[in-house]
Copies of this chain bind each other. A is one copy, B any other.
Amino acid sequence: MSAAASMVASPQLKSVRARGRRSGPMRTESEVRSFVVVTDEPEAVGGTDTAPTPMELIAGAVNGCLGVVVETVAGELDLTLQALEISSHAHMDVRGFLGTAEVSPHFRDYLLAITVEIDGDEESHEQLRRLSEKRCPAVNLVRDAGVDLVLEWRFGPGES
């Protein structure tokens, strides 16, 4: 088998680990390499409101993940990224978590608004959009979970 063929055939696995323990009411601290990831809940839900909720953290991670992919793909297309804003706005039906109705406990809908300040023409922007949506791990996690996901892209010229 040629090197190229074997590269297509064999997975290149990357390990993702987080070791967590309860550190207070509704609060979890997870060790991730040298970092600590904390989640908590608002006081109304029984937490101490010292950190984002888990699903808020996932929304932040989706922003960051798409950011990495947009920057990577822009580099491949020889585009110069000037600025990037990515915002998530999702809704959950809390009856799933509460166990009071037979509905999905996670995101019911998910809007991603992306503003890219970059050079290049319309065709290269379309390529950037298409490849980024296809290759982003977190975006595809949400999409594959059957969430009603909408991505709104806005491209503008960077400052020259």
A52 / chain B contacts, CB cutoff of 8 Å: 32-33, 35, 37
A101 within 8 A of B: yes
Residue among A8, A26, A35 with most chain B CB within 10 A: A35
With A13-B92, A16-B55 as known contacts, state yes or no: A63 contacts B104, CB within 8 Å: no
Copies of this chain per assembly: 2
Q: How far is the CA of A154 from the CA of B31 in the complex (A)?
A: 20
Closest B residue to A40 by CB, please name it: B64
Closest B residue to A104 by CB, please name it: B140
Whether A84 and B21, one on each chain, are in contact in the complex, defined by CB atoms closer than 8 angstroms, is yes
A150 within 8 A of B: no
Residue total for A at the interface (Cβ-Cβ under 8 A): 89
A140 / chain B contacts, CB cutoff of 8 Å: 96, 104-106, 145
Q: How far is the CA of A160 from the CA of B54 in the complex (A)?
A: 31
A138 within 8 A of B: yes
- Which residues of A, 1-38, contact B by the 8 Å Cβ criterion? 7-8, 11-22, 25-28, 30, 32-33, 35, 37-38
Q: How far is the CA of A62 from the CA of B8 in the complex (A)?
A: 30
Whether A21 and B83, one on each chain, are in contact in the complex, defined by CB atoms closer than 8 angstroms, is yes
Q: Smallest CB–CB gap between A83 and chain B, Å? A: 6
Whether B11 and A95, one on each chain, are in contact in the complex, defined by CB atoms closer than 8 angstroms, is yes
Closest B residue to A93 by CB, please name it: B11
* Residues 97-141 of chain A, each 1 if its beta carbon lies under 8 Å from chain B, else 0: 111110111111000000000000000000000010011111011
> 4 smallest A-B Cβ distances: which pairs?
A39-B64, A37-B60, A20-B63, A54-B65
